[in-house]
Amino acid sequence: NAGVTQTPKFRVLKTGQSMTLLCAQDMNHEYMYWYRQDPGMGLRLIHYSVGEGTTAKGEVPDGYNVSRLKKQNFLLGLESAAPSQTSVYFCASSYIAASGGYNEQFFGPGTRLTVL
Amino acid sequence: GNSVTQMEGPVTLSEEAFLTINCTYTATGYPSLFWYVQYPGEGLQLLLKATKADDKGSNKGFEATYRKETTSFHLEKGSVQVSDSAVYFCALRGGGGADGLTFGKGTHLIIQP
């Protein structure tokens, strides 16, 4: 199993350009998440999805859109990139616990995005 | 809302020293608690977890006990190695449904030979 994979690994954009980050997981997980990691800030949740066709806003959703057309994929879009969106983006997935407890999330390797 | 506070680094120790990284949290209900580790240039890996009060999570010589009375989940290791150098994140997951994790800001640990 590849686990959680992210494409691309690195990208440089100019202000105003758009792009889509792809996250894929092969663990048949229901839940998927997008986070951004900034120096001294830890990770902050952008958007998440509890299943195919559903998405929800996290802590810092402005300037981003997401889609979950297939269970295994979760796309993060930047419609008009801004320098404030320079960050490392991590995707994660998680599964439903039979006991109802909260399970750990499995993370991808990250995408380093620079907006000039 | 939920929040996690952990000691800021960098924390520099000599090999074989005892390690403690403090973590305290604020949450409603009964959250699950996690420690993740991030090695340079990599994503986060789960180090250990605890899902209810008084649970002790352990892995690779690291331990942390879920203390509800002090709302803490401190990470400890008796004898650190150079290979333990990394950034450590304390995190919680609480509330209902599939909410994401709430992370602390991370603690950069440097182990010197």
Read off the pLDDT of each residue in B105-109 and give the average, rounded to a whole number: 95
User: A38: nearest CA in chain B?
Assistant: B105
A106, A6 Cβ separation under 8 angstroms: no
pLDDT of residue A39: 86
Residue A99 confidence class, pLDDT cut points 50, 70, 90: low
Task: Test A108 with B93 for CB contact under 8 angstroms.
Answer: no
pLDDT at B90 over 80: yes
β strands within A14-72, DSSP E: 19-25, 31-38, 42-51, 54-57, 64-67
Residue B93 is predicted with a pLDDT of 87
Mean pLDDT (whole number) for B18-28: 94
Residue A39 forms contact with B (CB below 8 Å): no
* Cα separation of the two ends of chain B: 41
Task: From residue B84, give the alpha-carbon distance in Å to each of A44, A62, B43, B49, B87.
Answer: 24, 36, 15, 18, 9
B33, B36, B101: best to mutate for the A interface, most A CBs within 10 A = B101
Q: Give the pLDDT score at A21.
A: 98
pLDDT tops 60 at residue A7: yes
Cα separation of B34 and B78, whole Å? 19
The reported pLDDT for the residue numbered A98 is 66
| B73 touches B59 (CB < 8 A) | no
Percentage of chain A exceeding pLDDT 90 = 84
Residue in chain A closest to B89 (alpha carbons) equals A42
Q: Would you say how long chain A is, in residues? A: 116
Report the pLDDT value the prediction gives residue B100, as an integer from 0 to 100.
Answer: 84
Tokens of A107: 């993370």
* pLDDT for the residue A102: 62
Do the chains contact at B104 and A42, CB–CB below 8 Å? yes
Residue B31: count other Cβ atoms within 10 Å of its Cβ: 26
- Mean pLDDT computed over every residue of chain A: 92
How buried is A66 (Cβ within 10 angstroms: 0-12 exposed, 13-18 middle, 19+ buried)? buried
